[in-house]
Every structure is written in C-alpha cells, then in structure tokens.
Homo-oligomer: A and B are copies of this chain.
Amino acid sequence: MQLDERSKQILKAIVLSYIKNAQPVGSRSITERYDFGVGPATIRNIMSDLESGGFLSHPHTSAGRVPTEKGYRFYVDTLFEEETFLKNQSRITLEAEQLVQREDAGQLLQDTSKLLSDLTHYMAIVSVPKMSEARIRHIEFVRLRANCIMTITVSEAGFVQNKFFDLEKDISQRSLNHISDYLNSLYTGMTLDGIRKKMKRQMEKMEDLYDHLESEAFELTKQAMHELHTTDTGELYTDGAVHIFDLPDFSDVKVMKGLLKAVKEKKAVIELLDKYIGSDGVQVFIGSENRFLGNHGCSLVVSQYKRGDRVLGALGVIGPTRMDYSKVIPLVDSTAKQVSRLLEDLS
C-alpha cells in the first residue's frame, strides 16, 4: 500500500494527537488543530482509506480513530524527523552528564535507569553485563571460615560480583592471597573461561611437573567459573515502575499488575533484552511485534551499550504503545552512548 504525502501527514497528525491525549481522534479535531486546507469530510475519507490500509482502527462506530500497531510502526519508520533527534540531543547529553561520576559501574547503571525513567516518565530498564562473559581485571579470594570462601571478581568495565562457595579442602587466607596474586599477574584481561582453558593447556604442557600453586589456582578458577555459570542468570535494574500509574492507558488495574509482576520477575525482560542485544543503534518494538510486550500492551525502545567494541548490555524504556517516540528514541540513543563513554572512562 502506497500512501501519498498528504495521507502520511494526516497519519502523523493522528499519531501525534493520540500520543498526546490518549484519546481517539476525530476528523473534526484534525481540521481544527492542523491546517491541511481541507474540511473534515475530506479527512474522513482519508481516514477511511488509512483504516482499510490497516494504519488506523475504530474502537466503535462513532468514536474517533486510533493508530494501530502498524500505524505506529509506519510513524516510527518513515515519519520520524531527523531534526527532532538533533534538537533534543544537546539538552539530554547535558542531563546525562550529571550522572554521578563513580568508580562503581553497577551504581552507574542504577543511576542511569533512574535518569531514564525520570526524563521519560516511563519505566526504564538496564541490563547488567554477565560476569561469566566479562573480561576480568581483578580476582580475589577471601576465606570466610573452614571450607568456605568468597570470591570477588572485578571486570574490566568496573563491575563487581561476590560469590560464595564451599571447598572440599580448606585453604588458608595466605594461600588464597598467593593464588589471587598469581591469577592477577598472569591472566588479567581474559574471561574466567579463558583463564581456565589457558591454565589447563599450560598444565598439560608441563605434564605432572606443574607446581602446587598452579594446581590449586586452577581448581579455584574452575569452581568460580562453575558458580558463575550456574547463578549468573543476568541482572536487571529497573526504575520508574510507579510511572505507569499516571498513564491513562493503564487505568485498568489488572494490566498494571500484570506488567509490574512481569518486570519484577525480570526473567522475561532479560530474555527480551538479550534477544535484541545484537543489533546496533536504537531499536523500537511495538506491541505485539514481541510476545511479552503485546501481552501487556506496551512498546520498548532499546539500545545496546558497549565498552570499546564489546557489547555489554542494553538499556531502554518500556512505555505504552502510544508513547512519545520522538522524545524517547533520541533519549535512549544518547543515554546509551553516554553510558558507553562513561564506562570507557572507568578504565
């Protein structure tokens, strides 16, 4: 279906109006608010065309038109004006600069989610990089009591994780320190899995001549790997869940509850982010283009953030399908870039 320029403009006007007021928009209000130089009847005809094209729909016979998901998609894909992007860019970056400059990358992500939700008034989500895939800057073992130690891993990007596990054999703190020193001096910048593999290769080369320290270090690394892989299901920071109370779209308590519950469970959201973490730049998922979003009648604007060339995670905004894409998209975009930059600085 091809739309002529005027139809596009009218579709855009309808989407904008609906984004703003959350009310079905009638032919009359279009002629009043926007000057297309035509009367309501003409608008009605065009609306009718747009409806048969699948861009608009009708709640009931005598209500105004409402954009369908296809309508939103069309709006986002083709009607989006580059100028809006640029107009907002400077302001947003300014606000993002105010993110506390911390050494703690986890805190940075948490602040980011708060910033995103405050600026958009929607719900923000930020996924935390998986430690099991991260390159390690530092690893440390602490003996808590007999047969029980804690490992602290700091990734290159500045994320920290503590893990507890039991050992068959008790190891003194002194030995643990030696092992940490050994690992840190030789293997920084690799993933835990990489460390394990490299150690294994080295040990095999030296056959049974490898020294005691190395063997213990290997065992510990193996355990830490295992622990990380079994428990590292991915973390998620969310913020601004309360905002959904302010949205007329979610006046239905059941929908609100469902969404809150789903986000609380986190798993579905993490999968959602993981799935689309691969592609570059901002992505927009509208309603039923994704199972999760469709079930809750909302959309997701998401972008990946990275450190150097490595994609670390994704951050984005979940809002109603009729959310203000022209604001949210550039905001998510610049926030992701800002986070990437800040993570770069923490090195």
Copies of this polypeptide in the complex:
2
User: In the complex the two chains form, is B245's CB within 8 Å of A264's CB?
Assistant: no
For the complex, count residues of A whose C-beta is within 8 A of B. 37
Q: Say which one of A28-36, A254-262, A317-325, A336-344 lies at the interface with B.
A: A254-262
Once A104-B164, A164-B102 are accepted as A-B contacts, the answer to whether A184 and B173 lie under 8 Å apart by CB is: yes
Would A162 and B164 count as touching, CB distance under 8 A? Answer: no
Tell me how far the C-beta of A15 lies from the nearest C-beta in chain B, rounded to whole angstroms.
Answer: 27
Q: Which of A138-177 contact B (CB under 8 A)?
A: 138, 140, 142-145, 148, 150, 152, 154, 158, 160, 162, 164-166, 173-174, 177
Inter-chain contacts of A144 with B (CB < 8 A):
103, 137-138, 154, 158
Q: With A140-B140, A144-B137, A245-B253 as known contacts, state yes or no: A103 contacts B177, CB within 8 Å.
A: no
- Residues of chain B within 8 A (CB-CB) of A242 are 257, 260-261, 264
Q: Are B103 and A148 in contact (CB under 8 A)?
A: yes
In the bound assembly, the distance between CA atoms of A142 and B150 in angstroms comes to 14
Knowing A245-B256, A347-B145 touch, does A160 contact B150 (C-beta < 8 A)?
Answer: yes
Among B162, B174, B260, the residue within 8 A (CB) of A104 is B162
* Distance in Å: Cβ of A259 to nearest Cβ of chain B: 10
In this complex, what residue of B is CB-closest to A250?
Answer: B253
